[in-house]
Amino acid sequence: MKIKRVTVTPIAFRDPPLLNASGIHEPYALRSIIEIESDNGYIGLGESYGDAPALAIQEALKSELIGLDPFNLNHLREVVKSVVAKHRPASLAGAELAPGSHASKAVSNAYSAFEVAFLDLQARSLNLPLVDLLGGRCRDEVPFSAYLFFKYAQHIDSPYAPDSWGEALSEAQIVAQAKRMIDENGFQSIKLKAGALDPEHEVACIKALKKAFPDCPLRIDPNGNWSLETAIRMAELLGDDLQYYEDPTPGLDGMSELHKRTGLPLATNMVVTDFDEFRRSVELNSVQIVLADHHYWGGLRDTVALAKMCDVWGLGVSMHSNSHLAISLMAMAHVAAATPNLDYACDTHYPWQEPDEEVIKGGKLKIVNGAVQINKTPGLGLELDYDQLGKLHEQFLSCGIRSRDDVKQMRKYKPDWTQVKPRF
C-alpha cells in the first residue's frame, strides 16, 4: 500500500468570547483537516493546528509523502524532520496556551498531524478500529469533563450573532453554565478555566460550584497566571475542594515549590510539554498529573509512551484540549481508550463548538453520560462531509485570522492590555 494523495484543508469555525490568562478567544478558531489516500482506495483522516506556521509545514510535507508506505511511521518521522529543518518556523503568539503551536514543537506537531491520518488509514485497511493499533481498548467509553469558561455575551464587533451561552462572569452565571453543560452532556467532573479575573473571585466560583455539585470532582486552571504567593494563598482558600490544581503558577521550579508548600496534587499542560521537561519535572517533583495532548506530544503512539512513563514514575494521566472538531475528539478518545492508567476525565472544548460547524457526516458527535463512545467500525469511524468542509474552508479564507492572538483580541476591549505573566 502506497500513499497517492495528501490533502490539507485549512478551516475556521466560530469560537465564543472565552476569557483566559492571555486575553480572550478571537471570533474564529483555526484548524487543518488532513486526508491521506492510498493507492488501493482507503482514506485516513487527521485534524491539527491551522495557524499559518503550522499550515506552512503541513503544506510543504504534502508532496514529500506521496509514495510512502502508511505503515512506516519511522519513515514519516524522518521526512517530517527534514522538511521542518528546511523551514525553521518562527515562534508564535498564543503558544503558551496552545503549546503545540510553539516553534520547538514543530516536528512533533507536524508528525502528529499526519501520524493520526496514517494510523486511521492503516486501521481502515485492516478493517479494525484505530484503538486496536494502540494496544487495544481498555474501555469502550472515554470520560470527559465539563470545561467552563468566564466569557462575555458576545464578541466585540462580532461578525455573527451572539452564541446561546450568554455572559458568564458571576458565580451564579458560572453555576448556570455548568448546569447546562452537564444537562446536555452528562459530564461527571468540572474544570474551570481561570487566570482571567480576580483570583479571589475565581475561587469563590469554585466554592459556588462545590455547593451546587457537591459530588462532582472540581479543577481550576489559571494557566500559570498566579504568582507562587497567590497560588499558595488561593490553595488555603480552596482547602480540599479540588481534585487537582492545574498550572496555577508558572515554571517547573514554581510548581515544585507550590507542591512542597501545599501538598496539593498539581496537573499541567504547560510545564511538561515534552520528554525533556518530563525528566526535569520528575527530578523536581513539579507535577503529579500530566495532561497529555497527542497534537504536540508527537502523535498517538508517543502519547501511549507518555502514559507508560507516567505509570513508571507514579504520575497521573489525563488530557489537555484546545478548540477542535470531531476528528481530534475521536483521536483523543481512541488514545485515551488505549491508556490503562487514564486516571481522570479528559478535557475538551467540543461543547463550545456550534452544531452547524462540524466537518464529518452526521454532524457533531454526541457526548453521553459525560463520555465518548469508541466506535467498532474501522479507523476513527468518521467520514468527511465535503459540503461542510468547503463551507468552513470558505470561512477560513474570509475570516482574516491566520494565527491565534488572544492578547491582540483583548486589546479591542482594553486598549492597554499586555501579556503579563503572572498577572496576579
Instruction: Tell me the site size for Mg ion, rule CB under 5 A.
Output: 2
Cβ partners under 8 Å of residue 341, min gap 6: 307, 310, 311, 316, 317
DSSP state of 346: B
User: Catalytic residue at 260?
Assistant: no
If DSSP codes are grouped into helix, strand and coil, which group holds residue 127? coil
- Pick from 127, 162, 140: nearest CA to 354: 162
By CB under 5 A, which span of 84-92, 219-227, 273-281, 389-397 interacts with Mg ion?
Answer: 219-227
- If you ran DSSP here, which 8-state letter would residue 133 be given? G
Instruction: Enter the C-alpha cell of residue 171.
Output: 458565580
By CB under 5 A, the residues from 254 to 273 that bind Mg ion are 269
Task: Examine residue 221 and tell whether it contacts Mg ion (CB under 5 A).
Answer: yes
Task: Using DSSP bridges, classify how beta strands 28-38 and 3-14 pair: parallel, antiparallel or unpaired.
Answer: antiparallel
C-alpha 148/C-alpha 181 separation (Å) is 8
Please, what is the angle between helix 52-62 and helix 73-87, to 10°? Answer: 120
Count the alpha carbons within 13 Å of 233 in the hemisphere toward its beta carbon. 11
CA distance 306 to 301: 9
Residue 188 or 269: the one with the smaller Cβ distance to Mg ion is 269
Closer of 8 and 98 to Mg ion (Cβ): 98
Catalytic site includes residue 86: no
Q: How far is the CB of 269 from Mg ion (least distance, A)?
A: 4
The least CB distance from residue 97 to Mg ion, in Å, is 8
The sign one gets for the Cα dihedral 115, 120, 123, 129 is: positive
Q: Which is nearer to Mg ion, 65 or 291 (CB)?
A: 291
Smallest gap from Cβ 297 to Mg ion, in A, equals: 14
Q: Which is nearer to Mg ion, 96 or 358 (CB)?
A: 96
Q: Is 403 in the site for Mg ion (CB under 5 A)?
A: no
Asked if residue 115 binds Mg ion (CB under 5 A), the reply is: no
The answer to whether the beta carbons of residues 7 and 55 sit under 8 Å apart is no
End-to-end, the C-alpha distance of the chain in Å comes to 55
CB of 195 to Mg ion, least distance (A): 9
Query: How many Cβ atoms are within 10 Å of 28's Cβ, its own excluded?
Result: 23
Instruction: List the one residue out of 9, 10, 8 whose CA is nearest residue 399.
Output: 10
Which residue, 96 or 221, has its beta carbon nearer to Mg ion? 221
Helices (H), 89-170: 106-126
Least Å from the CB of residue 265 to Mg ion = 14
C-alpha cell at 101: 503551536
Instruction: Please spell the DSSP secondary structure of 93-111, one letter per residue.
Output: TTTTTSGGGSGGGHHHHHH
- The minimum distance between CB 35 and Mg ion, in angstroms, equals 30
In the numeric block, the cell 481534585 is attached to: 243
Give the nearest distance from C-beta 406 to Mg ion in angstroms.
14
153 CB neighbour count, 10 Å cutoff: 14
369, with CB counted inside 10 A (0-12, 13-18, 19+), is exposed
Catalytic residue among 25, 259, 320, 324: 320
Kindly indicate which of the ranges 93-101, 183-191, 221-229, 390-398 contains the residues binding Mg ion, using the contact rule CB under 5 A.
221-229
Shortest reach from residue 151's CB to Mg ion, in Å: 17
Of residues 269 and 328, the one with the C-beta less far from Mg ion: 269
Question: Could you tell me if 50 and 396 are in contact, meaning their C-beta atoms sit under 8 angstroms apart?
Answer: yes
- Active-site choice (102, 155, 193, 334): 193
Grouping H, G, I as helix, E, B as strand and the rest as coil, residue 318 is strand
Q: CB-wise, 48 or 225, nearer to Mg ion?
A: 225
User: By the criterion CB under 5 A, which residues form the site for Mg ion?
Assistant: 221, 269
Residues annotated as part of the active site: 193, 320
